[in-house]
């Protein structure tokens, strides 16, 4: 036991040291200086010249001035903007990396020229003509890349919060939330009312594993209600015109991309024979589909070296798929008590929606609200009474949605630090890695082997001391529902400062470090039966209804 405790302490120090190194690396990340010139050679056409990063700002400014002087000799050309860009936006990053975008791009040595305009044919003709004659600004060969299909990650069309006229109004957001909530509520009601017809396949028994803490057999297919709400709510966005038509279609494709993740989890709910690895593969494949269909791919995480690898499209897609699968599995791991995951996910979605509003992103904002409404409709039946559970299908669908919205928020908005979603999802992510460590390293067991030593389970055993020893289903249900409140309050404490630092990667890294320290401290106290007295709840106010 002493060796395990010593190893656990060492792991904490290693984790803290690693986080400090990451924070220092993000601070020491070399500055980037990209020459950028936007000009018009004709009334119906705009051209944007973008060059790869130069070592110093002086060299960048000299390049900008040299290109601007060359354009001044053109009688029909007019320079709109000429400056050094320190942070590329999503479209600019994809233009330089060679990924397809929604405009024709002339690839030249160490740079690119994008052709934009209301007349798509004129832009394409200009790009092809430039490829034939060679680059006019930089000597060398040039190749015209045809425009790709506009995907969700590129359909930004966003305004700042001060000019958020294109953002959904409050009454529209409330309306779509109510519609999603009603659909989820009604779908769960139908499932509960028809329980006798399918309970042979859909019940979660009270015995059969160390992670069973509910008092009576309960339906575990609440994910169907969430899926139904998305099927209704997502098309509604396009019908009422909250987002551009291409973005509305992209969100529908994103919802369709979730089918493998939901199917893998739902198959486990019904058959009890779909293993963890199979579900991970299903969810990772859903992440690959989302990357290919809507461009939901990470191309930066503010870690030197890894950011360079993420510029390789194949690596970026695989890394994103791994992250999406990991987050979905992590959400499933913490889904153990009434209202825990549903309430926690609402907090994360509210935070994502808040930042999306700040940067003027209607897609992530409206998609967050749709899922929030679905969860509220589900929670009516799940918390605190526990009439229906989310199940693996619902947990993997929810985890996929949280992961993809996080990816889209970062991919579409260069101002948002990629560490913001990591902080918002720190609880399930850290819980997963910590569980792998204590099972594989400390105990030599398979990481997929279930046990009753997750943090939320220790909170149930050590902190929620209401009705210990009682067999009364009502009292056990009340004790079950107490766990969610601890998790909600604890995560909000770390989410709030993150919302004030969503641009600041070093600050977010520091918050992540503090969370890992707080988690480990509380876990060690609980596992040793040394729970802080001020955290213990005996439920003295509980009364039978």
pLDDT at 541: 53
Q: Which residues of 479-500 are buried (b: 16+ CB within 10 A; e: fewer)?
A: bbbbbbbbbbebbeebbeebee
Choice among 89-103, 236-250, 273-287, 289-303 with the minimum mean pLDDT = 89-103
Model confidence at 234, in pLDDT bands (50, 70, 90)? very high
For residue 304, the model assigns a pLDDT of: 79
Cis omega before residue 384 (within 30°)?
Answer: yes
Provide the pLDDT for residue 263: 95
Nearest to 404, CA basis, from 300, 505, 332, 328:
328
User: Residue 46: helix, strand or coil by DSSP?
Assistant: strand
Give me the pLDDT at residue 540, please: 57
50 near 34, Cβ under 8 Å? yes
**pLDDT confidence bin for 463, thresholds 50/70/90:** confident
| pLDDT exceeds 90 at position 266 | yes
Q: What is the pLDDT of residue 24?
A: 55
Over residues 101-109, the mean pLDDT reads 80
The pLDDT of residue 165 is above 50? no
**What pLDDT, on the 0 to 100 scale, is given for residue 15?**
54
Residue of higher predicted confidence among 543 and 266:
266
Task: Identify the sign of the CA torsion 393, 397, 398, 400.
Answer: positive
Asked whether the beta carbons of 91 and 154 are under 8 A apart, the reply is: yes
- Residue 377 scores a pLDDT above 80: yes
Q: What is the overall mean pLDDT for the chain?
A: 82
* Spatial separation of the C-alpha atoms in residues 497 and 493, rounded to whole Å: 8
Angstrom distance (rounded) from CA 68 to CA 50 = 13
Give residue 212's pLDDT: 47
pTM: 0.78
Q: Which residue has the higher pLDDT, 246 or 426?
A: 426
Quick one: pLDDT band at residue 256, thresholds 50, 70, 90? very high
Containing H/E element for 189? Answer: helix 170-193
What average pLDDT does the segment 386-396 reach? 92
Spans of all domains in the chain = 34-145, 161-535
Measure the CA dihedral 229/235/239/245, to 10°: 150
Residue 95 to residue 107: CA distance in whole angstroms: 9
pLDDT given at position 160 = 34
Full DSSP string of 285-302: HHHHHHHHHH-------S
Highest mean pLDDT among 148-157, 323-332, 450-459: 323-332
> What pLDDT does 52 receive?
87
DSSP state of 215: S
3-class SS at 378? helix
Banded model confidence at residue 90, pLDDT cuts 50, 70, 90: low
Between 508 and 142, name the one with better pLDDT: 508
Distance CA(31)–CA(152), nearest Å, equals: 29
Per-residue pLDDT band for 29 (boundaries 50, 70, 90) equals low
- For 84, the enclosing helix (H) or strand (E) is strand 78-85
Average pLDDT (435-447) is: 80
pLDDT band at residue 18 using 50, 70 and 90 as cut-offs: low
Per-residue pLDDT at 425: 97
Minimum mean pLDDT among 355-364, 374-383, 514-523: which range? 355-364
The average pLDDT across 236-242 equals 78
User: In whole angstroms, what is the distance from residue 92 CA to residue 543 CA?
Assistant: 61
Radius of gyration from C-alpha coordinates of the chain: 26
- Cα 57 to Cα 55: distance, rounded to the nearest angstrom: 7
């Amino acid at each position: 036991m002493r060796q395990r405790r010593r190893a656990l302490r060492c792991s904490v120090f290693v984790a803290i040291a690693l986080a400090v190194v990451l924070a220092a690396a993000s601070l020491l990340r070399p500055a980037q200086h990209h020459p950028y010139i936007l000009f018009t050679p004709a009334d119906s056409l705009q051209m944007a010249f973008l060059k790869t990063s130069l070592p110093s700002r002086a060299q960048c400014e000299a390049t900008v001035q040299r290109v601007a002087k060359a354009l001044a000799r053109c009688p029909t050309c007019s320079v709109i903007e000429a400056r050094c860009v320190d942070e590329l936006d999503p479209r600019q990053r994809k233009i330089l990396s060679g990924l397809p975008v929604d405009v024709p791009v002339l690839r030249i040595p160490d740079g690119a020229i994008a052709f934009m305009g209301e007349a798509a044919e004129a832009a394409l003709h200009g790009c092809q003509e430039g490829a034939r004659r060679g680059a006019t600004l930089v000597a060398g060969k040039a190749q015209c890349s045809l425009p790709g299909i506009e995907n969700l990650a590129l359909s930004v069309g966003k305004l700042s919060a001060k000019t958020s006229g294109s953002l959904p109004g409050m009454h529209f957001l409330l309306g779509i939330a109510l519609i999603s909530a009603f659909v989820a509520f009604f779908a769960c009601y139908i499932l509960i009312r028809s329980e006798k017809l399918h309970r042979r396949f859909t019940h979660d028994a009270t015995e059969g594993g160390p992670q069973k803490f509910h008092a009576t057999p309960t339906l575990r297919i609440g994910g169907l209600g969430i899926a139904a709400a998305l099927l209704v709510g997502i098309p509604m966005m396009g019908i009422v015109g909250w987002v551009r038509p291409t973005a509305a279609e992209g969100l529908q494709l994103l919802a369709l991309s979730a089918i493998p993740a939901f199917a893998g989890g739902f198959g486990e709910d019904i058959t009890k024979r779909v293993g963890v690895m199979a579900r991970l593969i299903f969810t990772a494949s859903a992440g690959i589909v989302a990357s290919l269909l809507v461009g939901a791919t990470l191309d930066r995480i503010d870690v030197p070296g890894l950011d360079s690898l993420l510029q390789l499209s194949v690596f970026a897609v695989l890394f994103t798929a791994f992250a999406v699968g990991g987050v979905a599995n992590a959400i499933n791991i913490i889904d153990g008590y009434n209202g825990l995951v549903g309430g926690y996910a609402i907090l994360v979605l509210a935070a994502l929606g808040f930042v999306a509003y700040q940067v003027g992103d209607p897609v992530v904002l409206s998609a967050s609200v749709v899922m929030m409404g679905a969860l509220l409709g589900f929670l009516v039946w799940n918390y605190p009474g526990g009439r229906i559970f989310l199940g693996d299908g619902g947990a993997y669908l929810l985890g996929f949605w949280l992961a993809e919205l996080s990816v889209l928020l970062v991919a579409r908005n260069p101002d948002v630090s990629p560490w913001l979603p990591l902080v918002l999802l720190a609880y399930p992510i850290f819980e997963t890695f910590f569980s792998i460590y204590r099972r594989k390293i400390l105990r030599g067991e398979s990481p997929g082997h279930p046990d009753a030593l997750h943090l939320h389970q220790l909170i149930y055993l050590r902190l929620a001391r209401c009705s210990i020893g009682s067999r009364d289903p009502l009292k056990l249900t009340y004790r079950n529902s107490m766990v969610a409140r601890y998790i909600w309050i604890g995560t909000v404490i770390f989410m709030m400062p993150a919302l004030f630092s969503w641009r600041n990667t070093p600050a977010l890294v520091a918050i992540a470090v503090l969370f890992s320290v707080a988690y480990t401290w509380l876990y060690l106290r609980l596992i040793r039966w040394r729970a802080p007295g001020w955290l213990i709840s005996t439920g003295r106010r509980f009364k039978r209804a």
